[in-house]
Amino acid sequence: MKKFSIKPNIYFQKSSVEYLKELRGKKALIITDSFMVQSGYINRMLRILENKGIDYEVFSDVKPDPPIEIVAIGIKKMQITKPDVVIALGGGSSIDAAKSIIMIATDIIFKEDNNYTKPLFVAIPTTSGTGSEVTDFSVITFGDKKVPLVDEMLLPDVAILDADFVKSVPSQITADTAIDALTHAIEAYVSMEACDFTDALAEKSIKIIFEYFLRAYRNGEDMEAREKIHNASCMAGVAFANASLGINHSMAHALGGAFHIPHGRANAILLPYVIMYNANLQGNEETRAAKRYSEIAKILGLPSPTVKDGVFSLISAIKIIMKESNTPLTLKQAKIDKREFISKIDSMADTAMKDRCTVYNPRVVTKEDIRKLFVEVYGE
Ligand code: NAD
């Protein structure tokens, strides 16, 4: 028996942030990063809360790849605030930090006050990539390790997809995050847990990203493209929340912990190599993964007279959008120091093997496979 679930209510299109006017509550805690405060993005939301007479506190200390120390400070803030509404405003880092803060702090506050219940959790993504607004994942950094925590309690209640919040995303972050979303959709599509429901969302998401990504990258003011990519990112999020991911993400988490390379960029660099590895074209038999990648090529209208051709076409198409968006194709091009990289390969391979995403990879992997892949991905 399989299960497919979509929990958050999703409000989308221009001005969907106005949903906040329907909020009921006395006290809100806003969890965000300093950019959202300095840029004034937060003000639109604060005005709505003020007009409704909802008292609020702002916790704006979130940093990219949120470290557990920041989560701990956020938990203290929530213990003091005891909000009945929490709004996460920001990229995946702010939403992930909010998820862990809410889950842990609710438990602590409940132990002190049995009347306290989990606050309503509203997530407003300001990047189009992680899908965190609809997933039960929260990726937290412990020292030099990024750990994906997975629990239904982490799921937001409401997701607001208002593309006005992504207009200012710089082009390189637009590229990193959109290819992150593409990786989610592709990994969900080839995952061992994929099903008709996740396929539908993954397929649509992949098609939209190939159609609109370069438009959004080249012109951030192209609101049609921005909105499409914002929706695609969320759809890919629902797909992978149900089908899970694979070693692309396990390896990206290991890389991100060791080198703080932006998560989406790490995923992008790994993607062509991981597809090639998973497709395993050397064997006599066509693998399930190779057939699935080839199906994606067909969906995109790429040449795929044979399964093998389809896999190569998909890899080429991905490399084209990477080149067009100035995304490095290797870790060397991403300016990762070779000596340091080699010294960390073993521990990164260990981390990737232990990552939850590895379980759902379409090809069974060994630590040695991951080590070899890391060497390949570094590049000449
Ligand atoms: P991010 O949240 O780390 O933000 C990256 C940078 O972009 C920050 O400096 C931020 O201030 C800036 N930024 C955000 N919105 C902006 C805007 N509208 N205009 C200008 N600048 C803006 O980046 P991200 O890629 O969204 O999130 C990455 C994190 O999400 C990683 O830790 C990754 O592991 C995690 N992640 C989580 C999930 C999940 O399901 N929970 C999935 C994928 C990734």
The finding on whether 165 has its CB within 6 A of some atom of ligand 1 is yes
CA–CA separation, 348 and 334 (whole Å): 17
β-strand partners of 31: 59, 88
Tell me the mean pLDDT in the region 350-363.
Answer: 96
Give the pLDDT of residue 262. Answer: 95
SS3 208: helix
Average pLDDT of the chain is 97
pLDDT of residue 1 exceeding 90, the answer is no
Rounded-to-5 percentages of helix, strand, coil across the chain: 60, 15, 30
Give distance in angstroms: CA of 285 to centre of ligand 1.
40
Alpha-carbon torsion, ordered 65, 87, 137, 163, to 10 deg: -80
Predicted TM-score (pTM) of this structure: 0.96
DSSP category for residue 332: T
Determine the pLDDT at residue 338. Answer: 97
**CB 88 within 8 Å of CB 54:** no
The mean pLDDT value for 163-182 works out to 97
pLDDT in the model for residue 283:
83
Nearest CA to ligand 1 atom 3: 64
| pLDDT of the residue at 320 | 98
Instruction: For 99, list phi and psi in degrees, rounded to 5.
Output: -60, -50
The DSSP code sequence of 85-110 is EEEEEESHHHHHHHHHHHHHHHHHHH
* Residue given tokens 């207009």 in the structure block: 167
Does the pLDDT at position 307 exceed 90?
yes
> For position 6, what pLDDT does the model report?
85
| Atom 32 in ligand 1: residue holding the nearest Cα | 65
89 lines ligand 1 (CB under 6 A): no
Give me the pLDDT at residue 48, please: 96
* φ and ψ at residue 27, rounded to 5 degrees: -140, 130
Q: Is residue 264 in contact with ligand 1, taking CB distance under 6 Å?
A: yes
Q: What is the pLDDT of residues 4-19, one digit of tens each?
A: 998 899 999 999 999 9
In terms of C-beta density within 10 A (0-12 exposed, 13-18 middle, 19 or more buried), how is residue 111 classed?
A: exposed
Does the C-beta of 169 come closer than 6 Å to ligand 1? yes
Average confidence (pLDDT) over 218-227: 98
Rounded Cα gap, residues 86 and 56, in angstroms: 9
Atom of ligand 1 nearest to the CA of 177: 25
Query: Measured from the CA of 94, which atom of ligand 1 is nearest?
Result: 2
> What's the gap in Å between 161 CA and the centre of ligand 1?
15
Q: What are 17's two structure tokens?
A: 């942030």
What is the mean predicted confidence (pLDDT) over 299-319? 98
* Separation of CA 176 and ligand 1 centre (Å): 10
User: Ligand 1 centroid vs 265 CA: distance in angstroms?
Assistant: 11
Whether residue 380 is predicted with pLDDT greater than 90 in this model: the reply is no
Question: What's the whole-number mean pLDDT along residues 295-314?
Answer: 98
For residue 362, the Cα-to-chain-centroid distance in whole angstroms is: 20
Quickly list H helices, the chain. Answer: 34-38, 41-51, 68-81, 92-112, 171-190, 196-218, 223-243, 247-259, 263-279, 288-299, 307-324, 338-354, 367-378
Identify the pLDDT of residue 158: 98
Contact 168, 131 (CB under 8 A): no
Give the whole-angstrom CA distance, residue 320 versus residue 169: 22
